[in-house]
């Protein structure tokens, strides 16, 4: 049977929280790996101990309602747990869904590593629709305060994350970026005329990017552009503060945060099962998921180093690193008849950063 005491000790050594909170987090992690859902009524059935299901459910509610989550401490622990030195490629994106008539809208910054985003900083938006500049700068300022601008190799973002004020903020902090640009954005061409951005790339071959070596003026700034036509007739146009020889290869890493969202939702912890509507409570839940996700990912990295999986015809392994780790943790917390003590000790050691 799972040795929950060793998990509690490891968490206590690495997170400066009181014992009652640590005991709760340990039980939450084990229940989450077993049930793979954030539905509180289901998680309550899987909490270890002698407490009744109703008591566990109230305990879950109380934690999400009352605990003053030390997000900075958790972010530092997650990056330390990942064990990869900076500077980091970051991806900024937003995911949203509805609970009844209420929009749940999350703006998240992740470190992209081995094809997937590692959740580090997020805010829950109390609105539907796109983020604004103040919300994006808030997320970036939290990261910069914790890790410094020297630990940002490049920031990646989709078409939502453009704008003069936002770009000036990034340039002021000397943050390199690759953002996708709306095709109709006005930019100055080589003859000094302002044209829609897509016109600079309308003669490119399908999926063959053109990188313009000279800076072009837009929004009163000198910025660098690259772009190409896509098969569906759309354009992939990228903008950056500095010249980059292969910007599209860098931008391709942005897909890592989409993979993260899938892992938090239908391909992992079923975040959309939550009935939580309060932004702060949802943010606390995300903090627990970020810890659970990163531990599973680190366990998957270890497993990949022990046994390399054969690649399938499409060039990818049959299981992602995250899912390999998640499956190992799930087996450990549910296989009571043949509990593997050696593997449990290893995954506990992987969780320790002290």
**Residues in the chain where the model's pLDDT stays below 50:** 312-315
The whole-number pLDDT of residue 314 equals: 43
H/E/C letters for each residue in the chain? CCCHHHHHHHHHHHCCCCHHHHHHHHHHHHHHHHHCCCCHHHHHHHCCCCCCHHHHHHHHHHHHHHCCCCHHHHHHHHHHHHCCCCCEEEEEEEEEEEECCEEEEEEEEEEEECCEEEEEEEEEECCCCCCCHHHHHHHHHHHHHHHCHHHEEEEEECCCCCCHHHHHHHHHCCCCEEEEECCCCEEECCCCCEEEHHHHCCCCCECCCEECCCCEEECCEEEEEEEEECCCCCEEEEEECCCCCCHHHHHHHHHHHHHHHHHHCCCCCCHHHCCCCCHHHHHHHHHHHHHHHHHHHHHHHHHHHHCCCCCCCCCCCCCCHHHHHHHHHHHHHHCCCCCCHHHHHHHHHHHCCC
């Amino acid at each position: 049977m799972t040795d929950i005491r060793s998990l509690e000790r490891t968490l206590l050594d690495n997170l400066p929280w009181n014992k009652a909170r640590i005991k709760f987090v340990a039980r939450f992690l084990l229940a989450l790996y077993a049930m793979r859902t954030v539905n509180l009524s289901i998680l309550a059935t899987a909490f270890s101990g002698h407490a009744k299901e109703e008591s566990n459910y109230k305990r879950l509610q109380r934690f999400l309602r009352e605990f003053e989550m030390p997000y900075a401490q958790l972010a530092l622990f997650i990056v330390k747990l990942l064990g990869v030195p900076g500077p980091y490629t970051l991806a900024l994106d937003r995911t949203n869904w509805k609970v009844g008539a209420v929009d749940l809208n999350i703006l998240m910054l992740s470190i992209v590593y081995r094809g997937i985003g590692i959740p580090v900083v997020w805010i829950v938006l109390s609105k539907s629709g796109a983020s604004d500049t103040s919300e994006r700068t808030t997320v970036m300022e939290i990261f910069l305060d914790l890790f410094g601008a020297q630990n940002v190799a490049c920031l990646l973002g989709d078409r939502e994350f453009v704008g003069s004020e936002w770009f000036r903020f990034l340039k002021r902090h000397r943050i390199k970026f690759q953002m996708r640009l709306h095709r109709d954005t006005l930019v100055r061409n080589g003859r000094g005329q302002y044209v829609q951005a897509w016109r600079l790339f309308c003669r490119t071959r399908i999926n063959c990017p053109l990188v313009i070596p000279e800076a072009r003026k837009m929004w009163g700034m000198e910025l660098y552009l690259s772009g190409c036509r896509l098969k569906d007739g759309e354009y992939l146009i990228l903008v950056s503060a500095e010249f980059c020889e292969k910007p599209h290869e860098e931008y391709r890493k942005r897909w890592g945060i989409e993979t993260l969202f899938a892992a938090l939702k239908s391909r992992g912890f079923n975040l959309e099962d939550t009935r939580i509507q309060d932004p702060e409570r949802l943010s606390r839940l995300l903090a627990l998921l970020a810890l659970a996700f990163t531990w599973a990912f680190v366990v998957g990295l270890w497993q990949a180093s022990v046994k390399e999986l054969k690649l399938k015809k499409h060039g990818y392994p049959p299981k992602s690193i995250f899912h390999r780790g998640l499956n190992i943790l799930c087996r450990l917390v549910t296989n009571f008849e043949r509990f593997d003590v050696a593997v449990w000790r290893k995954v506990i050691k992987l969780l320790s950063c002290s």
